[in-house]
């Protein structure tokens, strides 16, 4: 029997999707790749494979789960299985440098960013910025390592402090600080390559913007607010970008400066949805995702196809 195989390493983040799949009576397999083994000499099982491996896996003790998942995705694609968010998606998920290079190649503006390895190189990179700048991990997730510095001396003090957490891949990014007129960013959610909805995200309390319920919410000051009837020229450009990079499910974040210029700074292919914002708006991203996966599975069964994601 063909199934929807959900590749992940975080049961808490995947449980809402499993609940929606079960509610729709869709056959699925929970494929937790935080550990395990796969015989590469055998063909994969039939079905549709949805990758939601996270760049922040190492923060949950799963340091090499993304590398393991990458290998499995190549195996699946070599056997022409239908893979949602395959090897290209995980490549971009694990590297903001790769994201920015791909976005710029597509004509989508990103903040000026300098990639650095080693303490002295990081400090040298910071010296190329006038005024405030952002530091962040190349392999991030959950806003890991994202910090605003008003001065280069603040960066040096942080690097030498107990608060400093080295990036898991060693690469630290220095990025120009885009000052928005109001403290918020916009996150645009896509399912099946099409716009699901856009969310206004309050950044007044910092840059850790994980929308999952497990990341916490404050009912007195909602961090996430779904924007009804959202329109923006970036939506079409994002849809084209995702299609060309063979990504079907993603949340893309951008910020607009005082001059009205939009800067895209993050692509999250392990997207979560905020239940508080969705409850206020009467929507469910996970249900939309479950429906999409169900259609992918039924379409392949009807046509007798198991093609690689286009």
Percent of the chain whose predicted confidence (pLDDT) is above 70: 91
Proportion of the chain above pLDDT 90, given as a percent: 85
The string of pLDDT tens digits covering residues 191-208 is 999 999 999 999 876 554
The string of pLDDT tens digits covering residues 224-282 is 999 999 999 999 999 999 999 999 999 999 999 999 999 999 999 998 999 999 999 99
With cut-offs at 50, 70 and 90, classify the pLDDT of residue 304: low
Does the structure show a pLDDT above 50 at 214?
A: no
Spatial contact of 98 and 140, defined as CB atoms under 8 Å apart: no
Tokens matching residue 309: 């994601």
Average pLDDT, integer, range 14-21: 98
Q: Which residues contact 120 (CB under 8 A, 6 or more apart)?
A: none
For the segment 2-20, the average pLDDT, to the nearest whole number, is: 97
Residues 6+ apart with CB under 8 A from 287: 20, 23
Q: Is the pLDDT of residue 1 over 60?
A: yes
Q: Which helix H or strand E contains 288, and what residues bound it?
A: helix 285-303
Q: Compute the mean pLDDT over every residue in the chain, rounded to the nearest whole number.
A: 92
**CATH number of the structural domain 113-176:** 3.30.1490
pLDDT of 167 reads 94
Question: What's the CATH fold of domain 3-92?
Answer: Rossmann fold (3.40.50)
Q: 236 φ, ψ to 5°?
A: -65, -40
Q: Check pLDDT > 90 for residue 47.
A: yes
pLDDT of res. 141: 76
Write down the H helix ranges in 29-161. 65-78, 87-93, 96-105, 119-126, 152-159
pLDDT value at 11 more than 90: yes
Same fold, 3-92 and 95-108+180-286: no
CA 246, chain centre distance (Å): 14
Give the burial class of 276: count Cβ atoms within 10 A of its Cβ; 0-12 exposed, 13-18 middle, 19 or more buried: middle
pLDDT in tens, 79-134: 999 999 999 999 999 999 999 999 999 999 999 999 999 999 999 999 999 989 99
Q: What is the pLDDT of residue 306?
A: 45
* pTM recorded for the entire structure: 0.91
Using the Cα atoms of residue 23, residue 25, residue 26 and residue 32 in order, give the sign of their dihedral. Answer: positive
Domain ranges of the chain: 3-92, 95-108+180-286, 113-176
CB atoms within 10 A of CB 287: 18
Q: Which helix (H) or strand (E) holds 18?
A: helix 11-23
Q: With a cut of 80, say whether residue 288 has pLDDT above it.
A: yes
* Contact between residue 66 and residue 56 where contact means Cβ atoms under 8 Å apart: no
pLDDT digits (tens, 9 = 90+) for 138-164: 998 777 779 999 998 999 999 999 999
3-state secondary structure at position 297: helix
| Fold topology of 95-108+180-286 | D-amino Acid Aminotransferase; Chain A, domain 1 (3.30.470)
Output DSSP code: residue 40.
T
């Amino acid at each position: 029997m063909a199934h929807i195989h959900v590749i992940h390493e975080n049961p808490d983040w995947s449980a809402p999707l499993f609940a929606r799949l079960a509610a729709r009576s869709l056959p699925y397999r929970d494929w937790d790749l935080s550990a395990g083994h796969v015989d590469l000499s055998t063909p994969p099982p039939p079905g549709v494979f949805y990758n939601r491996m996270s760049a922040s896996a190492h923060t949950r003790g799963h340091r090499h789960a993304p590398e393991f998942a990458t290998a499995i995705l190549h195996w699946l694609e070599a056997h022409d299985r239908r893979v949602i968010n395959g090897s290209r998606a995980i490549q971009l998920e694990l590297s903001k440098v790769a994201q920015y290079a791909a976005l710029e190649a597509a004509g989508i503006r990103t903040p000026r960013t300098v990639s650095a390895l080693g303490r002295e190189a990081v400090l040298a990179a910071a010296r190329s910025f006038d005024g405030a700048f952002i530091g962040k991990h190349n392999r991030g997730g959950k806003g890991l390592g994202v910090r605003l510095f008003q001065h280069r001396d603040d960066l040096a003090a942080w690097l030498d402090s107990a608060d400093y957490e080295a990036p898991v891949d060693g690469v630290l990014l220095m990025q120009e600080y885009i000052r928005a007129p109001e403290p918020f960013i916009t996150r645009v959610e896509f399912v099946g390559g099409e716009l699901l909805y856009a969310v206004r995200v309050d950044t007044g309390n910092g840059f850790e913007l994980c929308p999952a319920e497990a990341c916490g919410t404050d009912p007195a000051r909602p961090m996430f607010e779904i924007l009804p009837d959202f329109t923006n020229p970036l939506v079409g450009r994002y849809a084209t970008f995702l299609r060309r990079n063979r990504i079907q499910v993603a949340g893309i974040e951008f910020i607009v400066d005082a001059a009205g210029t939009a800067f895209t700074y993050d692509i999250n292919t392990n997207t979560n949805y905020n239940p508080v914002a969705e409850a206020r708006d009467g929507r469910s991203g996970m249900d939309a995702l479950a429906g999409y996966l169900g259609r992918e599975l039924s379409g392949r069964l009807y046509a007798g196809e198991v093609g690689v994601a286009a």
